[in-house]
């Protein structure tokens, strides 16, 4: 069952903790009897979880490279920077 | 405990360690924002480094009119957009699906449980493919929210769009991604069932 178009933004804002108490209450009332929107909420939560899970590591050479360039710039005389 | 503002001030005064602390603070988010935007690990490394060097060289221009994070990601975002434009001019088309990003490289470490490695590999593939299938403006806003971790107002400032547009576009991005994931999973399931029948 597809989610209701008019509730998608509320669901998305709920994931981002952006709803007022009234908006949250209206959303929960709707979710209680709308499987499509409940499924949309689960998918949005899952997307967040998947994104976090896949953005954990960063190559060490990134910071090393940046700091090596910073150090090299510091060693250059000011007129050559 | 020192605040981000104090590190920024120290870095402006030439304190190398303070700048390195700022890099540490942002490296993960900047790198993955760029990687998921450009979808190529080598390009992502180059553009992420360029982002931090630009931050370093322009630190004195940062006057705190916006959040530091907004400023850092506006630099990363502009460099990504320029890079994509240059690639297009050269006739090179972004993006290829990235199935060899550092998440996967880190997972090749033998200390990882093979089952967990497989699961994570699948997650990376799924999210990358879904991101590659949605419209660029939706992908961009999703990455600014979920990978860069920017707030709605920060995204509105960075993209120079209305706050209401940010909220609705993020909702559309999530909805489009959820649909893509659903399709991908259905396709994989039907491929697997066809394989079984053929045997």
**A44 touching B, CB under 8 A?**
yes
Tell me: pLDDT of B101 over 60.
Answer: no
User: Closest chain B residue to A74 measured between Cα atoms?
Assistant: B14
Mean pLDDT, range B163-190, rounded to an integer: 92
pLDDT in tens, A28-76: 999 999 999 999 999 999 999 999 988 888 999 999 999 999 999 877 6
Q: Do residues B22 and B4 touch, judged by C-beta distance below 8 A?
A: yes
Name the DSSP class of A58. Answer: -
Q: Report DSSP letters for B121-175, one per residue.
A: HHHHHHHHHHHHHS-HHHHHHHIIIIIS---HHHHHHHHT--HHHHHHHHHHHHH
* Interface mutation vs chain A, best among B15, B36, B49, most A CBs within 10 Å: B49
Terminal-to-terminal C-alpha distance of chain A: 61
Residue percentage of chain B with pLDDT more than 70: 83
**A18 touching B, CB under 8 A?**
yes
Tell me: pLDDT of B123 over 80.
Answer: yes
Mean pLDDT, range B94-106, rounded to an integer: 53
Q: How far is CA A47 from CA B116, B123, B131, B176, in A?
A: 18, 10, 11, 11
**A74 touching B, CB under 8 A?**
yes
Mean pLDDT, range B33-47, rounded to an integer: 94
Question: Residue B149: pLDDT band by 50, 70, 90 thresholds?
Answer: very high
SS3 A37: helix
ipTM of the complex: 0.88
Take residue B85 and report the two structure tokens written for it. Answer: 């434009």
Tell me: pLDDT of B70 over 70.
Answer: yes
Q: Do A71 and B23 touch (CB under 8 A)?
A: no
B158 or A55, which is more confident?
B158
Option in A8, A53, A67 nearest B123 (CB): A53
Cis (ω within 30 of 0) for the bond into B95?
yes
Q: Do B175 and A40 touch (CB under 8 A)?
A: yes
In whole angstroms, give the CA distance from residue B59 to residue A39.
45
**A27 touching B, CB under 8 A?**
no
Q: Do A16 and B16 touch (CB under 8 A)?
A: no
In whole angstroms, give the CA distance from residue B199 to residue B193.
10
Task: Find chain B residues with C-beta within 8 A of A14's C-beta.
Answer: none
Task: Find chain A residues with C-beta within 8 A of B20's C-beta.
Answer: 63, 67
Q: A66: distance to nearest CA of chain B, Å?
A: 6
Task: Find chain A residues with C-beta within 8 A of B172's C-beta.
Answer: 8
Take residue A60 and report the two structure tokens written for it. Answer: 């060490």
Give CA angle at B170 (B166, B175), nearest 5°: 150
Q: Which residues contact B32 (CB under 8 A, 6 or more apart)?
A: A54, A55, A58, B147
Mean pLDDT for chain B overall: 87
List the single range of B61-70, B157-166, B169-178, B189-198 with lowest mean pLDDT: B189-198
Task: Find chain B residues with C-beta within 8 A of A63's C-beta.
Answer: 20, 23-24, 27
Per-residue confidence (pLDDT) for residue B12, from 0 to 100: 93
Q: Do A74 and B182 touch (CB under 8 A)?
A: no
pLDDT in tens, B109-122: 555 666 776 777 78
In angstroms, what is the C-alpha Rg of chain A?
A: 23
In whole angstroms, give the CA distance from residue B68 to residue B61.
12
**A40 touching B, CB under 8 A?**
yes
């Amino acid at each position: 069952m597809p989610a209701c178009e008019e509730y998608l933004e509320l669901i998305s804002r709920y994931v981002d903790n952006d709803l007022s108490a009234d908006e949250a209450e209206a959303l929960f009332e709707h979710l209680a009897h709308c499987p499509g929107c409940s499924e949309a909420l689960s998918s949005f939560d899952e997307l967040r979880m998947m994104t976090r899970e896949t953005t954990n590591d960063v190559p060490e050479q990134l910071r090393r490279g940046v700091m090596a360039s910073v150090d090299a710039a510091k060693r250059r005389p000011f007129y050559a920077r | 405990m020192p605040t981000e503002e104090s590190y920024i001030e120290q870095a402006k005064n030439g304190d190398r360690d303070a700048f390195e602390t700022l890099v540490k603070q942002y490296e993960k988010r900047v790198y993955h924002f760029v990687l998921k935007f450009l979808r190529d690990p080598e390009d992502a490394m180059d553009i992420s480094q360029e982002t931090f060097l630009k931050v370093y060289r322009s630190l004195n221009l940062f006057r705190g009119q916006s959040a530091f994070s907004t400023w850092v990601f506006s630099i990363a975002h502009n460099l990504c957009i320029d890079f994509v434009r240059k690639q297009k001019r050269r006739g090179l088309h972004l993006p290829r699906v990235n199935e060899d990003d550092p998440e996967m490289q880190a997972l090749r470490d033998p200390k990882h449980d093979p089952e967990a490695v497989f699961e994570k590999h699948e997650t990376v593939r799924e999210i990358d493919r879904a991101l590659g299938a949605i419209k660029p403006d939706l992908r961009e806003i999703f990455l600014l929210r979920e990978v860069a971790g920017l707030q709605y107002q920060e995204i509105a400032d960075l993209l120079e769009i209305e706050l209401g547009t940010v909220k609705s576009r993020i909702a559309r991005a999530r909805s489009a991604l959820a649909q893509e994931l659903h399709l991908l999973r259905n396709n994989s399931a039907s491929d697997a069932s066809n394989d079984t029948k053929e045997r």
